[in-house]
Amino acid sequence: MRIAQIAPLTEAVPPKLYGGTERVIHWLTEELVGLGHDVTLFASGDSRTSAKLEAGWPRALRLDGAVRDANALHLAMLENVRGRAHEFDFLHFHLDYYPFSLFSRQSTPFLTTLHGRLDLPELHPVFNACTAAPVVSISNSQRRPLPQARWVRTIYHGLPENLITPKPVRPSYLAFLGRIAPEKAVDRAIHVARKCGIPLKIAAKVDRVDAEYYEQRIRPLIEPPHVEYIGEIGDHEKSEFLSGAHALMATIDWPEPFGLVMIEAMASGTPVIAFNRGSVPEVVDDGITGFIVEDELGAIGAVQRISELDRAAVRKQFERRFTARRMAQDYLGVYRALAESHAPRLRIVGADEAPALAASDAS
């Protein structure tokens, strides 16, 4: 298929720094190319890809301090995609609701993956108005605030199969990975590790907006060697870091639509102890890849049972459920289903005032 992937210009694909959405777009794009498809990636010009790159702006906007109006660039990119839509068999957007109005009224089938949380009240008007635009959720729980959207399927994120792998090290600590921010609640992981008498290693970044939170609430809790903060780590360091952990502590305090860090742990064979919020019960197979807990007391109990889990089985479940290849194949299934349901309609419907496509479920 001739497929266009349309990414935000905020970060490069893959991102130079943190950026879950752009990492997922990168992995999906590489897999689609690997599967033999003709892929064009609309993204910032500093992206690296095996697909054809169409630069919407020379640099990722988060690193380009000169750009004040990011919307102008995203709407220009949408206009350019619209002008070239006939060159593609399928358009896959990662730009929230931005493409809905424009692309519901043209003939190339399209899809939007919604990457963020959807519980803002101001999202209702645009989803009420654009019920024809097909959308994919990254977990079922993500959908709840917006039942009126045209959900066609949930597709869980996936990692390249060999990006993170089990290493032959003896687990000796609990791990926290990602960002230090109130919604990630690393303080809970610290409490649990202390109560269990097991060291906690924290590999995480601190965003500027969270610097005060870190200084006031978290830093006083860091006491090496029991609680150690090792800073941010890259993908190439994660296999080692995660393999050395008895468990990853996903002590989240928000309805996370999908937690990449959980499948990163699984890829290394490390079980996950996760609070029951957002996508957690969909991503963690309780008793196989980890334990789902309700509070710190539950987490302490889970740590004590962690040796019941088989790390080889954790890795195996990762390979079954959360590879980028599986993700790409799921998306191809949706592309094909939407293309089939889409194509015949536009031969019979006039164009300028064409009604929006009827909602249909491709899942």
- As a whole number of angstroms, the distance between CA 147 and CA 21 comes to 23
- As a whole number of angstroms, the distance between CA 50 and CA 27 comes to 11
Q: Does 10 bind a copy of itself (CB under 8 A)?
A: no
**DSSP-assigned letters across all residues of 70-127:** HHHHHHHHHHHHHHHGGG-SEEEE-STTTTHHHHTTSSS-EEEE--S----GGGHHHH
Picking from 239, 256, 246, the residue whose alpha carbon sits closest to that of residue 175 is: 246
Least distance (Å) between residue 343 CB and a copy of itself: 13
Per CB under 8 A, which of residues 75..94 are in contact with a copy of itself?
75-80, 82-83, 86
Query: Of 69 and 216, which CB lies nearer to a copy of itself in the complex structure?
Result: 69
Secondary structure (H, E, C), 219-239: HHHCCCCCEEEEECCCHHHHH
Binds a copy of itself by CB under 8 A, chosen from 72, 230, 297, 312: 72
Per CB under 8 A, which of residues 113..152 are in contact with a copy of itself?
120-123, 125-126, 128-130
Per CB under 8 A, which of residues 28..57 are in contact with a copy of itself?
56-57
Q: Which stretch binds a copy of itself (CB under 8 A): 249-257, 261-269, 336-344, 347-355?
A: 347-355
Binds a copy of itself by CB under 8 A, chosen from 27, 42, 93, 98: 98
First to last CA, the chain: 20
Least distance (Å) between residue 47 CB and a copy of itself: 17
Reading the block at residue 50, the tokens are 């095996």
Mark residues 304-343: x for contact with a copy of itself by CB under 8 A, - for none. ----------------------------------------
Are 73 and 80 within 8 A, CB to CB?
no
Considering CB under 8 A, how many residues would be counted as binding a copy of itself?
43
Q: Which residues bind a copy of itself (CB under 8 A)?
A: 56-57, 66-73, 75-80, 82-83, 86, 96-98, 100-102, 105-107, 120-123, 125-126, 128-130, 346, 350-354
